[in-house]
Amino acid sequence: MGLVGRPRSEHDLVERAKRGDVDAYAELVAMHEQIAYRTAHAITASAADAEDAAQEAFVKAYDALWRFRSGAPFRPWLLRIVGNESRNQRRAAVRRAGLARRVADDRTRGEVARTPEDAALQSQRRTVLLGAVEALAEPQRLAITCRYLLELSEAETAAALGWRPGTVKSRTSRALEQLRREVGDD
């Protein structure tokens, strides 16, 4: 414990936090939250994403405190974590925006010149197809979902599911055969 009114050093706070003192870590967060947020905002260009990135960075920094080298400056180490989290947030935001655009484009492209009857028929076909996909055995359902609904390549599907590329091909092929039998070639 420091003397009353005496500011605690960053080094002291880090060492106490490494020993599990949550209050000491809270003081470190208070010392660095503004620079962490500003750094995150500079990278994400979004207040909400910056807030999420900074919060996640503080959680990850706390979990990794045992790896922090005693005596080293805390701020650069923390800001490296903030930067990594901010880039992750930015990439996720770009993916979400791209997906939202793709969904919106698909909807508008499909609805431009359709009659109500066409729209109803299309909706019915989609419902039947999705029901047939849901009825597939799990390996085939995962293969179809990754390849066609998420639009992943064979290599990406293999990596995501922990399968060999040949396994992805065979399970996708079997699933497509079964869907053709149940739904038709449309």
Q: What is the pLDDT of residues 9-36, one digit of tens each?
A: 889 999 999 999 999 999 999 999 999 9
Domain ranges in the chain?
10-95, 115-183
Query: For the domain 115-183, what is the CATH code?
Result: 1.10.10.10
C-alpha 133/C-alpha 43 separation (Å) is 40
**Alpha helices, H only, the chain:** 10-18, 22-44, 47-63, 74-111, 116-135, 138-144, 154-161, 165-183
**Helix 74-111 to helix 47-63 angle, to the nearest 10 degrees?**
130
151 vs 41 pLDDT, higher one: 41
Count Cβ neighbours within 10 Å for each residue of 34-61 and write b for 16 or more, e otherwise.
eebbebbbebbebeebbbbbbbbbbeeb
Give pLDDT tens digits for 34-78: 999 998 888 888 899 999 999 999 999 999 999 999 888 898 899
CA angle at 131 for the pair 127 and 134, rounded to the nearest 5°: 140
Query: For the domain 10-95, what is the CATH code?
Result: 1.10.1740.10
Output the pTM of the full model.
0.52
Q: Which amino acid, residue 109?
A: R
